[in-house]
Amino acid sequence: MKDTDYGYFVPITTRWMDNDVYGHVNNVTYYSYFDTAANHFLIHEGGLDIHDAPVIGLVVESKCSYLAPVAYPEDLRAGLRVDKLSTRSVTYGVGIFGAGDEAVAHGYFVHVFVDRATRRAVPIPDRIRAALERLHRV
């Protein structure tokens, strides 16, 4: 995966605690990078109010493939795209990049949009849908 495969980028600063005993960023940390990228997009581009919005996105599925190690201190970028967009869910493609244009890790995760109170699936709010459509790969 190349950085040109993604339409939205979020800088990620690795932290000391991201490294594991083997001296590289631990595999579970990449999922927090994925979540950060998607939620940054939803907040800044889709207008999501994470504290009071009546509709929120819950992660229901995820996968990550690791291609090259990175370690603290290293500046990364998370690239985001929308691979699938339905009435109530979105599948994001996410790539993690170091200094180059080749991903060090890539994967996906799925958000299902639900009513905050009932946790029942609902349609994606219009403003968020419009933002997601701009990243949708057809």
Does the domain at 3-135 match CATH 3.10.129.10? Answer given as: yes
- Mean pLDDT, residues 28-40 taken together: 96
Q: How confident is the model at residue 138 (pLDDT cuts 50, 70, 90)?
A: low
Judged against a pLDDT cut of 60, whether residue 63 lies above it is answered with yes
- Tokens found for residue 69: 């190690």
Percent of the chain at pLDDT > 90 equals 96
107 in Cβ contact with 81 (< 8 Å): no
Q: How far is CA 35 from CA 21, 65, 93, 118, in A?
A: 24, 15, 11, 22
- Mean pLDDT, residues 11-28 taken together: 95
Using one digit for the tens of pLDDT, what is the confidence trace for 69-107?
A: 999 999 999 999 999 999 999 999 999 999 989 999 999
Write out the H or E segment, with its range, that includes residue 102: none
Domain map (residue ranges) of the chain: 3-135
First to last CA, the chain: 17
Q: What is the pLDDT of residue 5?
A: 93
Mean pLDDT of the chain: 96
Percent of the chain at pLDDT > 70 equals 99
Instruction: For residues 72 and 15, give the distance between their C-alpha atoms in angstroms, rounded to a whole number.
Output: 6
Instruction: For residues 4 and 17, give the distance between their C-alpha atoms in angstroms, rounded to a whole number.
Output: 30
